[in-house]
Amino acid sequence: MLGIDYIKESIFINAKGAFSMTDPVLINLDQGVLTVTFNRPEKKNAMTNGIYDQINEAISRAEHEAQIKVVVLTGTGDFFSAGNDIADFMTQPPEGETSPVVKLLLRLANTDIPIVAAVNGPAIGIGTTILLHCDKVYAVDSAFFSTPFVTLGVVPEAGSSLLMPKYLGYQMAARLLMFAERITAEEAKDCGLIGHLCAVDQLTEVVAEEARRIAKLPKKTIRQAKRLMRRNEETLTDRIVYEMEQFGEALRSAESKEAMAAFVEKRSPNFAQFDTEA
């Protein structure tokens, strides 16, 4: 059995050897399915540069190891991911295409490996935008989705300013990216952000069964099919790079610094002090 139940009973091995259940990312290979589990439940699976590196390495491994047919992304605990770890983000902000988060996003934009997401709870920030790069998305019916970039004084990332209007429609994209609204799992399914809703106690087995089915498909053919489906998205990587340039500029702004400081200090940000230009 894959997923959290399997994880609890397994010894995890990565390219560097065995690792423990306390590691921030758990990797398990079973029956052609590489399960990548975000494992910081005490931090709501907030992402760090180290986590981005490990996810990137796992997908690269899937691209190069013949026995791996599909990658599953999921989380431990009640959250899929709360987005970037603000403390890690402030001390190690993304700088260009060599930063861990950009390398992961470019990997996701270009990989032909099938990727399935098992969204076990709320998905915030990159926890939501990463789903735009997944080929099948399952979510528990209690999940919600939010991309509150503007509330932190930054702009969208992960190609979301291109992919959300294209896949979800302009109105839904504006709700998420411009107005920082939260949407329910049902709304996410209706607009196409996710494909399947599951009860909390069914998600693990439903995704495991589907991943095993995918793993039985011909790997070369399914990868070719994915490449063909993405032929009209060659500009996506350019958009990610441009976004991150804008993201870095926004991150250095006074508004972003105020937003980040307010978050750490657990107070409401005061953006009115910067209302001096149109």
Q: Is the pLDDT of residue 150 over 50?
A: yes
Is 22 part of a structural domain of the chain? yes
254 belongs to a structural domain: yes
- Within a domain: residue 212? no
Counting DSSP H helices and E strands in the chain, the numbers are 12, 11
Residue 25 contacts residue 38 (beta carbons within 8 Å): yes
Residue 207 lies in a domain: no
Task: Specify the CATH number for the domain of residue 225.
Answer: 3.90.226.10
Decide the pairing of beta strands 25-30 and 70-75. Answer: unpaired
Tens of pLDDT, residues 237-262: 888 888 888 888 888 888 888 888 98
Domain count, the chain: 1
Domain hosting 8: range is: 3-200+217-274
Q: 175-193: buried (b, 16+ CB within 10 Å) or exposed (e) per residue?
A: bbbeeeeebebebbbebeb
At 195-213, the pLDDT tens digits run 999 999 999 999 999 999 9
Place of tokens 């990463």: 130
Q: Per the domain annotation, does 210 fall within a domain? A: no
Q: Tell me whether residue 164 is in a domain.
A: yes
Average confidence score pLDDT of the chain? 89
Query: What pLDDT sits at residue 35?
Result: 98
Whole-number pLDDT of residue 90: 81
Averaged pLDDT, 71-83? 97
Whether 118 is covered by a domain: the verdict is yes
Question: Can you tell me the distance from the alpha carbon of 28 to that of 13, in angstroms, rounded to the nearest whole number?
Answer: 7
Q: Is residue 211 part of a domain?
A: no
